A and B are shown apart, each in its own frame.
Chain A
Amino acid sequence: MNRGIVLLLLFSVLILLSGCWSKKELTDIAIISAFGIDKNDKGQYVGTIQVINPGNVTGGQQDGGSSIGPPINVYTETGNNLTEVSRKFSTGISRRLYYAHTNLVVVGERLAREDGILRLFDAMDRDPEFRITSEVIIAQDMEAKDIVRTITPIDKIPSNKVIKTLKSTEKNWGTHLRANMKDVLNNLVSDGKEPLITGFRIKGEIDQAMKMANIEETTPKAVLEAEGIALFRNGKLVDWLQGSTARGSLWILDKIEKTDVNINWQEHEEAIAYEVIRQKTKVLPKIYNEEPLITIDVSAEGDIGEVEIPVDLTDPLVLVKIEKEVEKEIKKEIQEAIKQAQKNKSDVFGFGEVVQRADPKLWKKLKSDWNSVYFPELVVDVKVDAFVRRTGIRTKSFLTEIEENRK
């Protein structure tokens, strides 16, 4: 019995002395949803954090009525490295910074162009709290701070809005792609590949973006919008892929899920819309006399989404012709993307990796000069096979009927 009591005391000491080890109450942490990094004129880092104000996000059930303050608060600090910046925030914030829910990292274009993104990620990669799955975007033509402090309607937390926008546009339109920190780091480390990071910008009045007034109108004065894909060389931003060129790069990366390809029909421009519903792209290497060759093989499948002119879709020959036109259009997009990448000497498609897998010995020779010499001169053959699966729930358009009646 005596021994039992002593043991019990020892166990209670174990619990009582250790206390609540590394305990952090919800009311003592500042949940950071986005982290923006810029560079000032002195060459120092400028960090911007988006801290969620939970009471204002949920609408405050206790107080009743709509939320009063902004759902986020934004703080900015400067420092010589990111850890210093992060620690300095404590001078202005009453709570412990909590990075585990930071799912968006914004890099300013100036920083990305001048210093590159290589040195940024070590602090985030090393920190146990920071998620390596955070999405990375580039603030196009503006500071990361501007993006981070923008208030958005519908999705009250701006970082959520950015991520959801990325997801939905990648899936439905295909001119932007998601890249999380892990992908970016992998591409930076890899020999034969460079990262692609989507850009975001504020459309409208930048000054209004941070005001609650921005979301109190039906038409927000400032809207966060995905715009272009940043092209990197040696970790530095060199160029932007825009519009169909950007989509061409997603075709090559096999990331297109659904999109819309418009084709010309007779003399009418962009008269038929072809909706891609699924596709598969293969990048196939061939080595001829120590000379790598790349074949891009796209097989797309889709529906007719719209015809603006009378077309007889019941005629198989017409469909074949449409398919040919679609193939031409897709091929054009892909070639443009390759051309722009080659011009910038940035192998964002990972052709180097493909060559390495096909012929590792050859790759060892090419490796050092791949980006500067071989990639810009690389011959890429693009083969596209498009197929019209359905024509929607109409075969004949009413336009066709009107025309027939006229006759």
Chain B
Amino acid sequence: MPGFFKNKHKKSNTTNENQTQPPSEQDFPDSIDVRLSNNLDVIKNKTGNSFDVIIRNVSIGLQPKIQTAIVYIDGLVDSQSIKDFLIESIIKSPDLQEKLIQQDPLEVIEDEALPFGSIRNAHDWVQLFSALMDGETIILVDGKTKVLVVDTRGGDRRSIEEPTSQVTVRGPRDGFTESIITNTSLVRRRIKSPNLWVEARKLGKVTNTDVAIMYINGIANEKIVEEVRRRIDQIDVDSVLESGYIEQFIEDQTFTSFPTLYHTERPDTVSGNLLEGRIAIFVDGTPFVLIAPAVFIQFFQAVEDYYARFDIATALRFLRILIFSISIIAPAAYIAATTFHQEMIPTQLLIAVAAQREAVPFPAFVEALIMEVTFEILREAGIRMPRAVGSAISIVGALVIGQAAVQAGIVSPAMTIVVAMTAIASFATPSFAMAISARLVRFVFMIAAATFGFYGIILGIIMLTIHLSGLRSFGVPYMTPMAPFILKENADTFFRLPWWALKRRPQLISEGNMIRVGKDQKPEPPIGRGMLKFTEEKGDQDE
């Protein structure tokens, strides 16, 4: 290596300045004041008198009356239960009013007044605000330096609907929602085992987003779990609005177009992966759950493969690999064949293609580029535009790409066929994350093909293979079980053997409890003709 390659830049030392700070955390008063009015002032100041912060002053107890306040955020709480139970039971119970004066009012309220599942104490402002922002209700009592936190989380949320990004013909219809609690419960309903462990985190200094790490203790590899924990705990960012934020902090390599974390909005996919020893990362506010570690072949396994019979599933897997290769190299192959290797095309076909290209004013590469870019624009427009104008795009698209461009002689019909095939192929890839990376790689292959022909395509494939083999997902080789080759695990890669033959979990991902199917599970008809005799006899009797 020449000297100038050597990096002479000194890395600037990371200091505390570079770390994110939640705004004005230091402004908090030291602790909760004895006087209620002071405390309420603090709350009002801190929340900037936001209209959705509701402060309800209540006087309880007989003489002397005790000043209390109920604080919650409108919309985040279940307002029905606050009205019905919380306020009602504090104010209206006569027995209670008596006790309140004699004993510690907080304890009385906590023990006797509130019919809620979760009540706890908070002692400082940080806890108080964090609970308030989560949708819990705070009860402050005059003269006390601690507060009650009542779990009244609720409010309006999207109900469970069928996932739109991963559709199956056969399989459960429920999909994740934006609520982390709903999401984890959807998985728990499927895996009813105490070994399904969930670890909670709060990420984002400003957003304080709930993040949960879910895995099955005893099946997941403890080293990988530890690695996930380490990477998540390292994240220092002000906000987490979607699981994509976390994905980019914890993936092994940034400079690759291939996804090294799987994401899904299907609880059955998550459950299946947990049972293979993988780890799910739930983020509040998004229906997309991350799964780690992810390997290359996983992106070609639709969840329905495991519900369909094995021969069908295997055929579909091969089809998907074919689809993926088409979506990567079809335009490149067209360019290479028509500008470098005309001898490879059968004469009749060559003449047909040549006749079409006779009037086209562009080289094949430019032609392909125009069409591919046009298609990408159409697709992007199709996704982003308002639903109401959807049909306009399809009309314009069909006319521009299909009809007018060909008739005007700008592009050849053969190119249109290639682009259309590529487009359909990229839609047929089961994982959108993989399809979208294929879209990028396709252009690289097109350039390679325009430069060196098939030689360039082969070079590209070699480089792609090297790149893929070098990737890791949480330390697990991306191409496993092809590279490193593990024969037994190829039972569930390109092939999907019947369930009774999938005896072991993937060994690089799972650890400990490896057996998932018992011995001698292959179904067989009963020996002899016993069944047949039985039905015959029965038939005779009926007669």
Contact = CB atoms under 8 A, between A and B. Distances in A.
A2 interface: yes
Contacts, number: 92
- Which of A2, A22, A27, A103 is packed against the most chain B CB atoms within 10 Å? A27
B355 A24 contact: no
Interface string A98-118: 101101000000000000000
A100 B343 CA distance: 5
Given A24-B342, A26-B353, A33 B9 contact: no
Contacts of A131: 343
A15 B451 contact: yes
A172 B118 CA distance: 93
Q: Which of A98, A100, A103 has the most chain B CB atoms closer than 10 A to its own CB? A: A100
A111 B487 CA distance: 65
Contact of B357 (A2, A22, A27, A160): A27
Given A2-B7, A3-B7, A101-B347, A29 B342 contact: yes
A57 B356 CA distance: 11
Contacts of B342: 24, 26, 29, 31, 98, 100-101
A159 to B, nearest CB: 9
A100 B350 CA distance: 11
B468 to A, nearest CB: 19
A97 to B, nearest CB: 12
Contacts of A100: 342-343
Given A2-B7, A25-B339, A31 B351 contact: yes
B360 interface: yes
Contact of B347 (A55, A60, A160): A160
Interface in A1-26: 1-3, 6, 15, 18-26
Contacts of A61: 355-356, 413
Interface string B401-414: 00000110100010
A52 to B, nearest CB: 6
Given A27-B360, A100-B342, A129-B343, A57 B451 contact: no
B340 A6 contact: no
A62 B407 contact: yes
B51 interface: no
B270 interface: no
A24 B409 contact: no
Contacts of B413: 61
B451 A55 contact: no
B517 interface: no
B355 A55 contact: yes
Nearest to A103: B347
B278 to A, nearest CB: 32
Contact of B9 (A2, A23, A24, A160): A2
A19 B451 contact: yes
B485 interface: no
Contact of B358 (A6, A20, A24, A27): A27
B165 to A, nearest CB: 34
A103 B351 CA distance: 14
Contacts of B339: 20, 23-26
A69 interface: no
A23 B7 contact: no
Nearest to A24: B339
A100 to B, nearest CB: 3
B354 interface: yes
Contacts of B452: 18, 21
A386 to B, nearest CB: 40
Contacts of A62: 356, 359, 406-407, 409
Contact of A57 (B9, B351, B364, B407): B351
A61 B363 CA distance: 20
B347 A54 contact: no
Q: Which of B339, B357, B360, B365 gathers the greatest number of chain A CB atoms within 10 Å?
A: B339
Given A6-B4, A27-B360, A101-B347, A22 B340 contact: yes
The interface centre, meaning the residue of B353, B354, B356 with most chain A CB atoms within 10 A of its CB, is: B354
Nearest to A2: B7
Q: Which of A2, A23, A31 has the most CB of B within 10 A?
A: A23
Contacts of B359: 62
B534 interface: no
B531 interface: no
Interface in B5-60: 5-7, 9
B343 A101 contact: yes
Nearest to A4: B255
B68 interface: no
Contacts of B355: 54-55, 57-58, 60-61
Contacts of B389: none
Given A6-B4, A15-B451, A25-B363, A58 B340 contact: no
Given A26-B353, A52-B354, 17 more contacts: A1-B9, A2-B9, A22-B340, A23-B363, A25-B338, A26-B357, A26-B364, A27-B358, A52-B351, A54-B351, A55-B358, A58-B351, A58-B355, A60-B355, A61-B356, A62-B359, A62-B407
Interface of B: 4-7, 9, 338-340, 342-343, 347-348, 350-360, 363-365, 406-407, 409, 413, 447, 450-453
Q: What 6 pairs across the A-B complex have the smallest Cβ distances?
A: A100-B343, A54-B355, A54-B354, A58-B355, A26-B357, A3-B5
